[in-house]
Structures are given as C-alpha cells and as structure tokens.
Amino acid sequence: MRANKLTLTDFRNYASQSLEFSDGINILYGDNAQGKTNILEAVYLFSMGKANRARKDAELIRHGQSRADLELTFSDKERESVANISLFPNRRKVIQVNEIPVRKNSELVGRFRVVYFGPEYLGLVKEGPKGRRRNIDILISQLRPRYFSSLGDMKKLVESKNALLKMEHPNQAMLDILNEKLASVSAEVIAGRTEYLGKIGVLAEELQKEISSGRETLSIKYQSCIGEATGLDKKEITERLYQKLMEHRGRELALHESVVGPHREDIIYEINGMEAKAFASQGQQKTIVLVQKLAEVGLMEQETGELPVLLLDDIMSELDKTRRGFILSRIRDMQILITCTDVDGFPLEKDTKLFRVEDGKVQAE
C-alpha cells in the first residue's frame, strides 16, 4: 500500500499544499505547532473516512474558510486510485474514489489501509477499555467491511437502548426487541474481535520475545461478556449474548443504563502471566504498545498480502534507542510517514525523503 500524492486545500493550517511521498521512509520535521501531525491526520482520513483527532469536520477546515478539499493518490498491488474528500462545517462530507461517489464510510474503509501510532496510544495498556476497543475496531474494520457496518449498527442500537432505558417507564417489549437485534448484530463484532485478537496475539507474542531477548511472554486476551468465544459460530454467539442480556435485564432496568454487551468489553495484556495494566513498568507498557502496533502491521500483511502505510506521529522521541532500532529493523519494504522535531538519529537511506514543515507549508528537501 502506498500513498503517492496528497493535495490539501484549506485543511487545518494548510491553505494550499501538495506533497509527493517516497515509497520508503518519509520524514516530516519542524518545530511544534507547524502542521506535521495535520499531514498524518489528512492521510489517515482516507483510511477511515473520519479523522482520528477531530470530533467535528468543522475543526478540520482552515479557520475562516467554508470548506476543505483533500485529494490522495494511492496504490495497492493492483492499481492506482484517486480519492477526494470535501469537508463542510454543517453538512456531511463528500467522498469520491476514482470519481465515483462513496455514500457510506463502509464503502471506503479497507481500500487504503494504514496503521497509525501516535503519542495518544502510549496509554493504551493502562488507560480505560474504550481506547483498546477502538484500536482493535479500527484495525478489523480495515480488514473486514462487514465488521465496520456491524459495529456502526451496534453503536446505534446501544444508543437507542440507552435512550429507552433512561425513560421513567421503559417499554419492556421494545427493550426485548432491541436486545434481540443487539445480540444478532454484535455477534459479528464478538466473532471478529475473537478471531483477530487471536491472530494478533500470536504475532505479538513472537515480537515481545524478540524485543525482550526471550525474557517476556506477552499474551493478549479478549475479555468478552460471553466468556471464551473461540470456535463458536455466529449463531452460538448470538444465543449466548442474548442470554447474557436477559440475565442483566432487571439490573439494566433498575440502573437505567445498559451494563453488558460488546460495547463494554476489554482486552487484557499479560506479561509472564501477570496483568500488564497493574504490574508492567512504564517502559514495558510502551514496549507492549509498540509490539501491538507492529503486530497490527504484520496482521494486515498476513490478511491482505500487502503491508499497510505506517503513520508514526512523534513516536520516535518517546522511545529509547533499542526500541527505535527495533521498529526500524522491522519496517523494511514498507512506506512510512514519520513526524518529528529533530531528524537526528534517523537513518537517511536512499529512499528516505525529508520534508521541512513550517507554518502550514511543506518543503521537500
């Protein structure tokens, strides 16, 4: 997977900017607040159809302007495509791929695949389960379009269910209908997380062994409300989940909120059998996140036969020499976009391209 050319018009602090990336390492460097992360955010937008930082499209439009336009030329092993995204303050974004309108994000996600690793991920192990679910959801969505649609449907159903439960006297027949639908839609999500976390776990265990010189065994476990779901088909998952929802029905009515379902589940990291959240050192936790991200790259290659584009936002400065070296030794033959304030310490090889970022302008060197 390659991002070839990016053009921005009135996106964030860019009035008008074009960049042509190298197939290898691309280093965007410059002082703070100049627009480095904004470039990665723009590229990321083409993978998921929404930004990873901004909550609203309006934040992405350059101050004082009424729209933003982005174009990305990218290629996978089969063909080159051109995608366009236009953002507006008060209406839906308009997306096209090769001039064909993309009406739903689910038609976009999976075509241009990335793994994004920025400082906000460094707390992945120790912070709340939401970030861990989101991370894995982004990964699986790019690999399996049905997962992305089911996830969207599931979120909508949970919202409806919560709205119903908030009422003083919720309609119980309605609650049963919502629970039934929720169980069936969520089966795809639970099945996807079980399958892909299993695969990630195998890759991550290997990587962790390598980076710790054999001292650490990492295990990644999906903690689903239905218990171990490996080997269950979707019908069985649906039945078990429905049963769980029924068990908690009384409690949910009493608490006026939904307390069980895949929107409340967690992913547990263990090192040598001990939960990393509670026992791993800061450095070990960083290593786990790094390993998780590299395992995601490996999984994408395994599943699609192609490496994704790796976006590393300001991450090298957070890692010591050993971990940096480990990343760099692992990312041969793939395209990487790196942001940093200082280029020192990066290998400047023949397919490395440097971009100097200053006040909303990028200059290739």
Q: How far is the CB of 361 from ligand ATP (least distance, A)?
A: 12
Closest CA to 289 of 269, 263, 275: 269
Q: Is 51 exposed, middle or buried (0-12, 13-18, 19+ CB in 10 A)?
A: middle
Q: Is 57 in the site for ligand ATP (CB under 6 A)?
A: no
Q: How far is the CB of 101 from ligand ATP (least distance, A)?
A: 25
Compute how many other C-beta atoms are within 10 angstroms of the C-beta atom of residue 123. 13
Is there a contact between 101 and 83 (Cβ–Cβ < 8 Å)?
no
DSSP string, 88-122: -SSS--EEEETTEEE-SHHHHTTSS-EEEE-GGGT
Span near ligand ATP by CB under 6 A; candidates 61-69, 124-132, 285-293, 321-329: 61-69
15, 16, 33, 159: residue in contact with ligand ATP (rule CB under 6 A): 33
Q: How far is the CB of 32 from Mg ion (least distance, A)?
A: 7
Helix pair 172-211, 234-247: axis angle to 10 deg: 120
**Site track for Mg ion across 34-63, x = CB under 5 A:** ---x--------------------------
2, 36, 113, 193: residue in contact with ligand ATP (rule CB under 6 A): 36
Tell me the Cα Rg of the chain.
22
Nearer to ligand ATP, 35 or 308 (CB): 35
Is there a contact between 4 and 316 (Cβ–Cβ < 8 Å)?
no
33 touches, from Mg ion, ligand ATP, none (C-beta below 5 to 8 Å by class): ligand ATP
Span near Mg ion by CB under 5 A; candidates 30-38, 86-94, 198-206, 316-324: 30-38
Which amino acid does the sequence have at 144? R
Nearer to ligand ATP, 203 or 357 (CB): 357
Is there a contact between 220 and 200 (Cβ–Cβ < 8 Å)?
yes
Q: Is the dihedral of CA 340, 343, 348, 354 positive or negative?
A: positive
Distances (CA, A) of 282 to 204, 289, 330, 363: 18, 11, 22, 37
**Site track for Mg ion across 249-288, x = CB under 5 A:** ----------------------------------------
55, 63, 91, 332: residue in contact with ligand ATP (rule CB under 6 A): 63
Q: Is 17 in the site for ligand ATP (CB under 6 A)?
A: no
Binding site residues, Mg ion, CB under 5 A: 37
Binding site residues, ligand ATP, CB under 6 A: 12-13, 30, 32-38, 59, 61-63, 314, 339, 341, 357
